Amino acid sequence: MDTSQLERDRVESAPELAPEPDPETRQQAMQDYYKLKYELYVIVFAVLAVSFISVWVVYSLNIALNYLLGATVGLIYLRMLARDVEQLGQGRRKLSKTRLVPFIAVIVLATRVDSLEILPIFLGFLTYKVGLILYALRAIVNPNT
């Protein structure tokens, strides 16, 4: 096989980029995305509030504040991720790699400051994942909403 044949095979087997959607379809997709983003924020904030109060009642205010610090960093992470996803179709092809910087910074801070505890901060950070799981379960159980 010559190199021109190899080049043609490579081009033919390469995945094609999807055609650019029309403006109306794109606008509807963005509206759906903004609705999804708002619902995720509401669910994550509700989980955060319930968890913060539960930790405060079961443990102490200091542990609950550590949890709140981690959950706040989780919300910041979710916001940064949402902004990256929103910009994907607008000329960007990859997600940013700096989203974990706030989490790394707060963990490093927790190792340096005696009043901060790593485990509640880490579990607080994971609160956004609980919100995502709850949203997914709700979408599975009731797909019409």
- How does pLDDT run across 63-76, given as a tens digit for each residue? 999 999 999 999 99
Separation CA 11–CA 132 (nearest Å): 38
Q: Tell me, yes or no, whether 117 lies in a domain.
A: yes
- How does pLDDT run across 27-42, given as a tens digit for each residue? 888 888 899 899 999 9
- Number of compact structural domains in the chain: 1
- Would you call 105 exposed, middle or buried from its count of C-beta atoms within 10 A (0-12, 13-18, 19+)? exposed
Put simply, whether the predicted model's pTM sits higher than 0.75 gets the answer: yes
Print the domain residue range for 61. 26-141
Q: Tell me, yes or no, whether 118 lies in a domain.
A: yes
Q: Tell me, yes or no, whether 12 lies in a domain.
A: no
Contact (Cβ atoms closer than 8 angstroms) between residue 132 and residue 46: no
